[in-house]
Structure 1
Amino acid sequence: MTMDCESRTSWRASRRALLLGGAAFAAWAYIPKFARAADARDPRLVVIILRGALDGLATVAPIGDPDYAGLHGSIALAKDGAHPASMLDSFFGLHPAMPEFARMYRDKKAAVVHAVATSYRERSHFDGQDVLESGFAGPGRVQSGWLNRAIEALPAGERVTSGLAIGPTTPLVLRGAAPTVGWAPVNLPTAADDTATRLVELYRHRDPALAQALSQGLQLDKIAIGDEMKPKSGGNAVEAMRQVARGAAKLMAADDGPRVAALAFDGWDTHAQEGGPVGRLAQLLGGLDGALADFEKGLGAHWRDTVIVVATEFGRTAKINGTEGTDHGTGTVALLAGGAVKGGRVIADWPGLKPANLFEARDLAPTTDLRAILKGVLHDHLGLSERVLAERVFPDSGMVKPAKGLVG
């Protein structure tokens, strides 16, 4: 049998796609296993990036600030009325689309950091996301992420030895020298079990390496996506967030699975029609809220040792625009959830929303460096030293000290 040049090229492309797609987990067998700590802690860390810039003032509203309602206008939350908030304390109210996070907060397993930002002060999504995920003070500095460097910096034999990148591409935050494995849910119809078995048998004789990779990949993909986690008919972005969380939680709950994961949810650039019970932000926050609950359920007993960090590249303007949305801003919120979080509190050095207090007369002024929060989690949860955090994980950040007491 002969094969022309075009056919050979097509075969190589198909074979590569099969190896990288259905058998993406084959490399898992070669990743070093973790060593359980003497104190029986088995920490999990999940980093969720919200791409597009989250409106922190609408997610966790400073209802007690006398200038808030006037600035956020028709989309402002209140203690009651058209947009009632779930009050976290006497000052801050949570968006009503997040009842699961509210429950975790009441159980002291979730916390909010308000008026937070990276060191970036411009309003480019591309550069803002670069700074958020690289861990450097400015954009365009490096092609690795702070979470990957944190894994790489852990002592040899540490229980966390690899990272799980969730999605079609590895987020920058998890790129680098430390080993990672990727998984993305496939929304296309999957082949029947007998078809997959026949494929494995066919390649067992023609290409044993491909057959082994395909077999391992199919087995591990079945772990991630069981029948209960397949997307519902007519699924949308909200269901997609939850599907990703369910699959990732199952993989991270396995004894030989990864302990650190990163994923990104897109679509948070709410320039128009942001507010209201069925507005864009409500739908997005509902998906995020469901994903956090699915992580809690899927991790089971391991939820006790879990921290989830939710962060975004920058905030949005304090004043709404003419299309009932908000434009690119600066200060925003970061969310913490998990059984290991010392929660039930909003952590904020509140700057106020009077015109003189706004950053560049338009944005919530940042008073907390996001790197302090990330350092605090990595220090207390994974045991990285302040020196390593300042020199390797977040280079040239010695002036930014880790926040204390975020993790129990």
Structure 2
Amino acid sequence: MTSRRAFLKAGGLALVGIGLGGVPGFMARAADSQKRTGLYKRNKILVCIFQRGAMDGLMAVCPFNDPYLRAARPDLFMSPARNGTGKALMDLDGSFGLHPAMQAFEPLFREKRLAIVHGMGSPNNTRSHFDAQDYMESGTPFSKATTSGWLNRAVGLLGHDASPFQAVSLTPAMPRSLYGDQPALAIHDLKDFALQSKGTPVDLSTTAQSFESLYDQTSSVLLKQTGKESFEAMKMLQQVQTGRYTPAAGVVYPATALGTSLRQIAQLIKMDVGLEVAFAESGGWDTHFNQGTGNGAFARNAQDFSNSIAAFWADLAARQDDVTVLTMTEFGRTVKQNGTRGTDHGRASCSFIIGNDVKGGLVHGAMQPLAVENLEDGRDLAVTTDFRSIFSEVAGVHLDIQNKDVLFPEWNGKKIGVMHRA
């Protein structure tokens, strides 16, 4: 196994090679000279997707029988009735309807591979995007002093030595979730990526410097400290850039940031490079104006989001048992539409969880009628499920992490039953 120590010694050198277009010949020859010990064993993999901007959970998964919601959203309310005047919700269970732009999710729900948790959110009532995201990713909703992210702590609780690719974020910068003592990679693109260790970015794709100058600065120290494990890591990196990745037959990813990120996560999974925690982002959910119904800003985002995840899931094929997908968003939107046919910052939203060990085909959580007296601050869907209840259960079951006191300090909540074997 490649140790974290070996990675921290050799990783910078290997990543310089990738960032500038290839592993240098002398290092490639050195790597090839080592006897390969085989791929990393197959692991369980948790893929987290953050919907930044605060997704309107009431539009994504609508309680369409609620008369208060209909009255509060005269321009935004949708129903499953097909009356020829617009796109209809997909009736999930007689009470909740899935937005039509998320039709790629419907087969997963019917196959009981998709579970939805409604009324999820943070116990901290901030409506600041920055603060709410920070609290959710740190996993400590009432402390700004936490230096680590909950996913970084999860990696530390896995209890075994790891590949350099144990924790990877397919994002331009390291997400708050992966800040901490455990090594992690932030990769914007597998062809040209930067390493960030312990939350501190190190740009290794600088093209202003030549190969020679970069290696003059780094190789003399690194080469003295690298062993065969370091060369093994380099061989994995060479594989990443070898040819173009071909998804499973019939799978087409959206040509979007999220589609590209998930395609590359699938590539890493199939390469058996030791991936165990992956992270991606979906932006643009801050729908203050012209939110739309069957068409518009929300529908475009929802279509990309669901199509990208559905393509990823289909692409995994025989690896589906190894993977669980968990989505999150910092908060929801107001129950009542605003004057510009949008919705403002609210409280609760919903989470989508996909996998073969989820209790799918159900909308979990509790939601009271959306009458004013039941709303938080008289305006928002109340948070009835703490996000930590979901995250701890999914990570606990799928990654076999049992120490919730370390994963989510100062929290002693209960699981919600969204996973089998919970």
Task: State the 1:111 CA deviation.
Answer: 0.9
The answer for the alignment partner of 1:167 in structure 2 is: 171
| Residue type of the alignment partner of 1:396 | E
Task: State the 1:348 CA deviation.
Answer: 2.1
Task: State the 1:18 CA deviation.
Answer: 4.7
Instruction: Tell me the number of residue pairs that the alignment of Structure 1 and Structure 2 aligns.
Output: 364
For the structure 1 residues 16 and 110, does the alpha-carbon distance in structure 2 shift closer, same or farther, using more than 3 Å as the test?
A: closer
CA separation in 2, counterparts of 1:53 and 1:168? 20
**For the Cα contact (< 8 Å) 1:161–1:258, is it kept in 2?**
yes
**DSSP-derived class of the 2:74 partner:** helix
The answer for the alignment partner of 1:393 in structure 2 is: 407
Task: State the 1:161 CA deviation.
Answer: 8.2
**DSSP-derived class of the 1:98 partner:** helix
The answer for the alignment partner of 1:318 in structure 2 is: 335
Q: 1:3-402 residue pairs with structure 2 within 5 A? A: 18=16, 21-22=19-20, 42-79=43-80, 80-81=82-83, 82-157=86-161, 162-185=166-189, 219-222=238-241, 226=244, 228=246, 239-385=256-402, 388-389=403-404, 391-398=405-412, 400-402=413-415
The answer for the alignment partner of 2:36 in structure 1 is: none
Greater share of helix: 1
Superposition misfits of 4+ residues, deviation over 4 angstroms: 15-20, 22-26, 33-36, 157-161, 199-218
**DSSP-derived class of the 1:67 partner:** helix
CA separation in 1, counterparts of 2:21 and 2:357? 33
CA separation in 1, counterparts of 2:59 and 2:298? 8
CA separation in 2, counterparts of 1:394 and 1:25? 40
For the structure 1 residues 395 and 278, does the alpha-carbon distance in structure 2 shift closer, same or farther, using more than 3 Å as the test?
A: same
Task: State the 1:205 CA deviation.
Answer: 11
CA separation in 1, counterparts of 2:175 and 2:320? 23
For the structure 1 residues 207 and 124, does the alpha-carbon distance in structure 2 shift closer, same or farther, using more than 3 Å as the test?
A: closer
Q: Deviations over 1:349-394 (max 9, x none)?
A: 1122001111101100111111101111112111122xx21x2111
Q: Greater shift after overlay, 340-349 or 89-98?
A: 340-349
**DSSP-derived class of the 1:74 partner:** coil
**DSSP-derived class of the 1:397 partner:** coil
Task: State the 1:104 CA deviation.
Answer: 0.4
The answer for the alignment partner of 2:419 in structure 1 is: 406
Task: State the 1:208 CA deviation.
Answer: 6.2
**For the Cα contact (< 8 Å) 1:63–1:93, is it kept in 2?**
yes
TM-score relative to the length of structure 2: 0.77
CA separation in 2, counterparts of 1:287 and 1:364? 25
For the structure 1 residues 217 and 380, does the alpha-carbon distance in structure 2 shift closer, same or farther, using more than 3 Å as the test?
A: closer
Task: State the 1:117 CA deviation.
Answer: 0.7
**DSSP-derived class of the 2:281 partner:** strand
TM-score relative to the length of structure 1: 0.79
The answer for the alignment partner of 2:195 in structure 1 is: none
**DSSP-derived class of the 1:329 partner:** coil
| Residue type of the alignment partner of 1:21 | G
For the structure 1 residues 237 and 138, does the alpha-carbon distance in structure 2 shift closer, same or farther, using more than 3 Å as the test?
A: farther
Q: Deviations over 1:305-324 (max 9, x none)?
A: 32111100001000011111
| Residue type of the alignment partner of 2:379 | R
Task: State the 1:74 CA deviation.
Answer: 1.2
Structure 2, unpaired ranges of 5+: 1-12, 25-30, 32-38, 193-209, 224-229, 248-252
Task: State the 1:23 CA deviation.
Answer: 7.4
CA separation in 2, counterparts of 1:312 and 1:25? 38
The answer for the alignment partner of 2:203 in structure 1 is: none
CA separation in 1, counterparts of 2:97 and 2:45? 28
**For the Cα contact (< 8 Å) 1:315–1:328, is it kept in 2?**
yes
Percent identity over the alignment? 33
CA separation in 2, counterparts of 1:136 and 1:24? 41
**For the Cα contact (< 8 Å) 1:61–1:93, is it kept in 2?**
yes
For the structure 1 residues 34 and 220, does the alpha-carbon distance in structure 2 shift closer, same or farther, using more than 3 Å as the test?
A: closer
**For the Cα contact (< 8 Å) 2:88–2:294, is it kept in 1?**
no
RMSD: 3.6
| Residue type of the alignment partner of 1:291 | S
CA separation in 2, counterparts of 1:284 and 1:270? 10
**DSSP-derived class of the 1:164 partner:** strand
**For the Cα contact (< 8 Å) 2:115–2:354, is it kept in 1?**
yes
**For the Cα contact (< 8 Å) 2:290–2:296, is it kept in 1?**
yes
CA separation in 2, counterparts of 1:373 and 1:280? 28
Task: State the 1:153 CA deviation.
Answer: 1.3
**For the Cα contact (< 8 Å) 2:326–2:353, is it kept in 1?**
yes
**For the Cα contact (< 8 Å) 1:25–1:183, is it kept in 2?**
no
Structure 1, unpaired ranges of 5+: 1-14, 37-41, 189-198, 230-235
CA separation in 2, counterparts of 1:24 and 1:360? 56
Q: Greater shift after overlay, 285-294 or 49-58?
A: 285-294
Q: Deviations over 1:161-209 (max 9, x none)?
A: 8211111111111121122223212799xxxxxxxxxx98999999867
CA separation in 2, counterparts of 1:132 and 1:237? 27
